[in-house]
Chains A and B, each alone.
Chain A
Amino acid sequence: MSQVLDEIEGCVPALRRYARALTHDPDRADDLVQDCLERAIRKRGLWRPSGSVRSWMFRILLNVHRNDLRRARRAPMPLSLDDAMPGNEPAGPDVQPGRLALAETARAMQALPDEQREVLLLVAVEEMSYAEAAAVLSIPVGTLMSRLARARAALRGLTETGAPKLRSVK
């Protein structure tokens, strides 16, 4: 039991990163992680080692997030573009892509459909294998791949970041 708690604890940094990327709001992200942790702690007796604790935690986080979205949709909050920017969040030391590219990508990520954003972040930022990401989302790997492809194409369409100097035509 206590070992599961250790493993849950080990997931917290990645959960915060994912929640922050999903919500683009540091406070809401930590609310989300807290809800996820409380839920996992409450349900840890139900956890069976059929998959990794990490997949399980991400699955819970996504469920909580989707519930929040459903609630928010019923009473939408106007989100200003300023909120969408990384703003005063430092992007970390010596990052390669320029600040403009980051801001542009941040905006573009918010414009992606939820299901595409969820997939792309699991693969690109959490660096999960396709199989694990598919397990987190409870979808077949084929579905994951097509969402990933659409997410990448959409992100590229929305930014210059993903595009080479000359836009290539197939």
Chain B
Amino acid sequence: MNREERKIPEHDLHAYADGALDGPARAAVEAYLADNPAIADEVEGWKRQNETLRALYGHRAAEPVPPRLNVRRLERESRIATTRWSRMAAAAVLLLGVGTAAGWYGRDLLASAGPVQAALGDETLVDEAMQAHRVYSGEVVHPVEVWAGEKDHLRAWLSKRLARPLNVPDLRAGGFTLVGGRLLPAANGPAAQFMYEDNTGRRVTLYIIPAKEGRETSFRYASLDRLEAFFWTDEAISCALVGDLPRDKLQEIATQAYKQLG
């Protein structure tokens, strides 16, 4: 190849090093490299990097898969419980109880689990959710716009207004039955609120606003003026479960809500 011939694009040089070229394209690169020893050295270096990286990490794939990564088993467990989130939820509560715990993981949870001390967006979420709870949970005649009897309509309507598919979680396992729900104005658009009550008349509300797809937060806790909230972001929604309940009870219900929304 003489100097007049055009340069091989860098893309092809990489593709050559990665073994992704064959036929004439491969031959063209080989001819070019034969005439350009400096570039040939560089390409040779890339191939060596690949080999070194494969030697460094490749063996991992040949190791036996530990039982905890058994897909069938995880699938069975997913039907029962154990998600990353519920592990974190348990850790969050435990760490709050302990007060000071070592390790970055714990510090992170503690830092974000203090009373409404999270990021600004979360603060707004919890504020709005608590405000909405205060306004409506005491209502006797009009606690909701759409009653539980029209649950399908409620779900379709709020899914449409929030522009994402919402489930209305069934929290009866925790002793709370659906009262109904309503649409609310939030800082950045519409919000949904579902209300539940137990047989003693205690009410909890689940407040939901749209969130950016792909964002996911840990499970956090806030308390303010006797109201407690667990809140999280997952699956394109941010949620806060608010109530005046013992923390572990509220957490149990929040866990159920999370699973059914996810």
Contact = CB atoms under 8 A, between A and B. Distances in A.
A96 interface: yes
A92 B63 CA distance: 10
Interface in A8-30: 8-9, 12-14, 16-17, 20-21, 29-30
Interface stretch (B8-16, B24-32, B171-179, B198-206): B8-16
Nearest to A167: B41
Interface in B37-58: 37-39, 41-42, 44-46, 48-58
Interface bracket on A:
35 or more
B60 A121 contact: no
Given A5-B75, A91-B59, A102-B55, A34 B68 contact: yes
B218 interface: yes
A168 B43 CA distance: 11
B84 A38 contact: yes
Contacts of A8: 71
Contacts of B71: 5, 8-9, 12, 37, 41
Interface in B82-124: 82-84, 103-104, 107-108, 111
Contacts of B74: 34, 37-38, 41
B187 interface: no
Contacts of A130: 15, 20
Contacts of B66: 30
A168 B41 contact: yes
Given A16-B69, A38-B83, A74-B111, 14 more contacts: A5-B75, A13-B61, A16-B60, A30-B68, A34-B69, A37-B71, A71-B108, A91-B59, A96-B55, A97-B55, A105-B56, A125-B53, A156-B49, A164-B44
Interface of B: 10-11, 14-15, 18, 20, 37-39, 41-42, 44-46, 48-63, 65-66, 68-69, 71-72, 74-75, 78, 82-84, 103-104, 107-108, 111, 214, 216, 218, 262
Q: What are the 10 tightest A-B residue pairs by CB atom distance, in nearest-first order?
A: A92-B59, A13-B61, A95-B55, A77-B104, A162-B45, A168-B38, A17-B60, A17-B61, A9-B71, A164-B41
